[in-house]
Homo-oligomer: A and B are copies of this chain.
């Protein structure tokens, strides 16, 4: 019975950084040292409600989701993260306080993660990473804001169509349940919506 082996390449992350701003070889070295690979299998938790989020996660391949479970037990997906995206609960990470959110894997997923201390370390030894992470967070912020706006101002149908625009690559990769939970409707209703959109007149 064979099990998965962790193949430890930071190449995708280096490339990601390099596209934002070129790195010196010392900086590359730093990244290679401080980021650790980690494999999560489908359905595995990366972060569980009540735990402190102790790392920044960069998805190398696979797909994660971050979500909140409300009092009624319903799941609300805040964010997906596929290849070359970051996912963590920044609030919990910086405040070192228990998270209200969960992160788990929707597919078998490989991440590169860096712990709190090592991130501080990274900033100290490579000040350029302050810039990089600022930009990176700003990007996330922008798309979050867009999503919020989308959400408060639209009907389910509009939200679905806008999801299809912004995340069309996720459409045939994710189960509908997840998409429904992302745009805030029931899977049944999404099924009907889709149906209606395909054959618009009956």
Contact = CB atoms under 8 A, between A and B. Distances in A.
Contacts of A50: 6
A42 interface: yes
Contact of A73 (B1, B42, B69, B104): B1
A187 interface: yes
A162 interface: no
A118 to B, nearest CB: 15
A196 interface: no
A177 B1 CA distance: 8
Q: How many copies does the complex hold?
A: 2
B41 A45 contact: yes
A5 B69 contact: yes
B44 A1 contact: no
A75 interface: yes
Interface in A32-62: 38-45, 48-50
A74 interface: yes
A181 interface: yes
B43 A39 contact: no
B41 A6 contact: no
A199 interface: no
Interface in A156-201: 177, 180-181, 187
Contacts of A40: 45
Given A1-B73, A73-B5, A42 B39 contact: no
Interface in A68-115: 69, 73-75, 104
Interface of A: 1-3, 5-6, 38-45, 48-50, 69, 73-75, 104, 177, 180-181, 187
